[in-house]
Copies of this chain bind each other. A is one copy, B any other.
Amino acid sequence: MPNQLFENIKQLRLTPLLNQGAFGVEKEGQRVTGLGALSQQPHPSELGSRTFHPYIATDFAEMQTELVTDTFEQTVDVQQQLLALEQVLQSSMADSEYIWPLSMPPLLPDDELTIPISEYTPAVKAYRDYLTKRYGRRLQMVSGIHYNFSLSSTLIVRLFDEYYHDHYVSLKDFSDALYIQIAQNYVRYHYVLTYLFGASPIAEPGFLEDMTKLPEHPVRSLRSSELFGYSNKQLLIHFDSVAAYVESMRQAIANGDLISEREFYGTVRLRSHSLDQMLETGVDYLEFRGFDINPYTATGIDQQQLDFLHLFFMYLLSLPKLSGDLATQIQTGRQLNDTVALENPLQPSQLQTQLKTVMADLAQFITDYHLDERFKQAWTVMNERVQDHRQTLSYRLTQAIEEDSLKAFALKQAKRFKCELTETLYQLQGYTDMELSTQMLMFDAFQKGLHVAVLDRDEQFIELTYQHHHELVKNGNITSLDRLISGPLVDNKVVTKILLASHGMRVPAGAEYTALETAVADYQAAFGQRAIVIKPKHSNMGAGITTFLTRPSEADFIAAFKLAQTYDQQILVEEFIAGSEYRFLVMNHKVQAVLERIPANIVGDGRSTIAQLVAKKNDNPLRGEAHLTPLQNIHLGERELLMLKQQGYRPEDVPLRGSQVFLLQNSNVSNGGDSVDVTDEMDQSYFAIAEQAAEILNLNITGIDIIVPNLYQPYDPEHPEMAVVLEANYNPAMLMHLFPMMGQARRVSMTVLQLLFPELAIETD
């Protein structure tokens, strides 16, 4: 060490590519009751169909969930998606269910045949029956983490192009040689990971019919041991070359040692689409199957583990090729691993010296190749475990054993994780930096089994896929369901009004101005005594808008006009329509939800000051700052103080009990307004108005703002002023319908998915 390969990487200045790769994780976990018994409930129906769900399936038993991440170039993305999947899974289970956070199963029934296997298709059932016969159901109840890894393809290509094309016949051969090298060394050094990650010190009652066959003392990892874990016993699969691997695998299948490749429980597998494919195009990735569930993290594997594994595999590649007979070496590796796996975790390892050497080598490796800081962090955590066995997971777990069981500990962890994962309803764990509406849409997609790809995180750009049907979504509901022209259309209030009016809809009368003089001359002639609104043509969230409920003085008119001019060159002067403004969310020609937005306000209790009432209202966990929550805090800023002053209030005044005090005129939820779902209260006759407006503007997903003086009184076409359409939106907020302050929540993000993927027949609740 360092070998020639890594010398070349350094010389060709390719070391940054060592930080890249491709990663994916699978994680199994048992659904259990609050008492730690296997859940008897079927797989949650909210999770759609297991026949295609790409992320959340079941393993052997019906309650044995399996989370499968996509492949990512960064481990942090794997961790984020795994966290999201864990949240979606746990949010979709019954309230009384939890995910058992240990690899070794909870208490199993006396008669293993009462363990319900998952048999959602005949083929699945047949394979489960085969496994039952061959291994028994108990063993199949062990859960774990699989980790899929491949090197940066750019690294492989550039190494081959710039150096190894003279040494290998093809890129494939070169690539295969790299993976074979990692796989060979992995078997040899597996014990390192068993020491660091081992977390199955004991089995719960019922794991074996005769529990006395288990070791007398706790161990580091029952699951990783030859005797008690998942293994094909004496089966020998060759790692001399890809060809040898494929050949030995085929032989094992022909002999009946394996029913198929998937039954091979080796700690590492070479993977491609199929064995035939592997011979033709080479190894796609390596699958490592040996990791116990880490019970100290909700995802079963933490970021340091993910990064350490990446580091470790590269390190294995940097080691010299194993000398001597490979089969012997593999045998040695297995023995070392078994030794570590069955050690008492309360004692230091017999192999501590070797472990320390490996850690020192790894530190040097990080330094030599200028690897990312995250590798150093991962190394630091693992090095502590090597230096002090009391830092290992197995030691800590052993300390948690009560009455020969980890049940109490496991349930405590399971409940804590479920609480953490599900307490913030409006967030999708792992993606909390994204817009809340996108988080909700992704939650729904993950739940129903649509494939989710975040194409541009900062821009809220995701792709959803079902089979060969791809749909792009931006900001939660900008999709292919609407028209390109609709964006500029609804951004342009004047054109919107022209169209609505030309189809006979009632809109506020008004005109567009650039010059103050023309506006001043005109407005009296056009509006007389009517109330008016002055606003920038292209306004956002109510900025620059002034409302006059009676005819303003010329000075006030000019001041308001000039204020609007600070936001836009074009200014609209419109009649002001009295009545409450409602947001009708229309999707696919149908009103999905109606919301009343009430400007920021407090209601007096006769004792508290306005400032106190504001603070109290802001205590609502749905309220917060910077759009990180569905509702926004009320502020006592300049605008609010002015509005209070106009009503004769100061923040330290105590309003009468029951009197409502408004702090803003503007009803946008983003300004601290209240949101009240009134879908069931609003007279249905108004739905047609909103739907017609959406139709005229050719909008599929839209929010239509309509002034309705009385929501209970049916619309009368003889009195068009009973429904005045103010504007439409092409990217309507969904969050306020998903999480209204009052009234019924409407799961409108799921409706978006229904519309995008009608073939999926998603049902909303």
- Stretch among A9-17, A39-47, A97-105, A620-628 lining the B interface: A9-17
Residues A528 and B487 in contact, CB atoms below 8 Å apart: no
Bound together, the chains give a CA A236 to CA B588 distance in angstroms of 59
CB <8 Å contact, B525 and A698: no
* Cα A180 to Cα B671 with chains together (Å): 55
Can you list 15 residue pairs at the A/B interface with Cβ under 8 Å? A13-B524, A13-B528, A16-B524, A154-B526, A155-B525, A158-B525, A455-B498, A456-B495, A459-B492, A478-B484, A480-B483, A480-B484, A481-B484, A482-B485, A484-B486
Residues of chain B contacted by A461 (CB below 8 angstroms): 488-489, 492, 495
A730 interface residue, CB < 8 Å from B? yes
Band of interface residues on A: 35 or more
A123 interface contact, C-beta 8 A: no
Docked-complex contact B525 and A494, CB < 8 angstroms: no
Chain B residue, CB-CB nearest to A498: B455
Question: Shortest CB–CB separation between residue A272 and chain B, in angstroms?
Answer: 19
Pick the contact of A528 from B12, B455, B472, B489 — CB < 8 Å? B12
Question: What are the interface flags for A514-542 relative to B under an 8 Å C-beta threshold, 1 for contact and 0 otherwise?
Answer: 00000001101110100000000000000
A479, A483, A730 interface centre (most CB from chain B within 10 Å): A483
* Chain B residues with CB under 8 A of A17: 525-526
A474 at the B interface (CB under 8 A): yes
CA distance A492 to B478 in the complex (A): 14
User: How would residues 456 to 471 of chain A score, 1 for a CB under 8 Å from any chain B CB and 0 otherwise?
Assistant: 1011010100000000
Report the separation of the CA atoms of residues A158 and B155 in the bound assembly, to the nearest whole angstrom: 78
Q: How far is the CB of A465 from chain B (nearest CB, A)?
A: 10
A479's partner among B16, B155, B478, B485 (CB-CB below 8 A) is B485
CA distance A478 to B485 in the complex (A): 6
A210 CB-CB contact with B under 8 Å: no
- 0/1 interface trace, chain A 144-159, chain B, CB 8 Å (1 if under): 0000000000110010
Q: A158-B528, A492-B459 are in contact. Are A480 and B473 (CB under 8 A)?
A: no
Which residues of B have CB within 8 Å of A487? 484, 487
- Closest Cβ of chain B to A412, distance in Å, is 42
Across the interface, name the chain B residue whose C-beta is closest to A472. B485
* Residues of chain B with a CB closer than 8 A to A486's CB: 480, 484
A318 → B minimal CB distance (Å): 17
- Once A13-B524, A492-B461 are accepted as A-B contacts, the answer to whether A698 and B484 lie under 8 Å apart by CB is no
Q: State how many angstroms separate the Cβ of A158 from the closest Cβ of chain B.
A: 6
Q: Which residues from chain B contact A521 at a C-beta distance below 8 Å?
A: 16
Chain B neighbourhood of A522, CB < 8 A: 16
A703 to chain B, nearest CB (A): 14
Tell whether, in the assembled complex, residue B473 and residue A485 are in contact, meaning their CB atoms are under 8 Å apart: yes
Residues of chain B contacted by A154 (CB below 8 angstroms) = 525-526
A162 at the interface (CB under 8 A from B): yes
- Which chain B residues border A456 with CB–CB below 8 Å? 492, 494-495
CA distance A14 to B527 in the complex (A): 10
Alpha-carbon distance A158/B488, docked complex (angstroms):
34
Mark A437-464 against chain B: 1 for CB-CB distance below 8 A, else 0.
Answer: 0000000000000000001101101010
Q: How far is the CA of A463 from the CA of B697 in the complex (A)?
A: 12
A17, closest chain B residue (CB): B525
- A10-39 interface code vs B (CB 8 A; 1 in, 0 out): 001111110000000000000000000000
Q: How far is the CB of A248 from chain B (nearest CB, A)?
A: 34
By a CB distance below 8 angstroms, the chain B residues around A698 are 480
Q: Which 9 A-B residue pairings sit nearest by Cβ, starting from the closest?
A: A482-B484, A16-B525, A480-B483, A455-B495, A13-B524, A14-B525, A472-B485, A17-B525, A474-B488
Mask of A474-508 contacts with B, CB within 8 angstroms, 1/0: 10001111111111110010110011000000000
Bitwise, A405-432 to B at CB < 8 A (1) or not (0) is 0000000000000000000000000000
In the bound assembly, the distance between CA atoms of A494 and B458 in angstroms comes to 12
Residue of B nearest to A509 (CB): B154
Q: How far is the CA of A461 from the CA of B489 in the complex (A)?
A: 8
- Chain A residues numbered 327-376 whose CB sits less than 8 Å from any CB in chain B: none
Are B16 and A730 closer than 8 Å at their CB atoms? no
Residues on B with C-beta less than 8 A from A14 are: 525
Return A577 CB to nearest CB of chain B, in Å.
17
Supposing A480-B484, A483-B484 touch, asked if A525 and B459 sit within 8 A by C-beta, the answer is no
**Contacts A455-B495, A461-B495, A482-B484 supplied; 12 other A-B pairs, CB < 8 Å:** A14-B525, A16-B525, A17-B525, A455-B494, A456-B492, A456-B495, A461-B488, A461-B489, A472-B489, A480-B483, A480-B486, A484-B730
Contact A485 B495 (CB under 8 A): no
Residues in B whose Cβ lies below 8 Å from that of A472? 485, 489, 495, 499
Assess the B492–A525 pair: CB atoms within 8 A. Answer: no
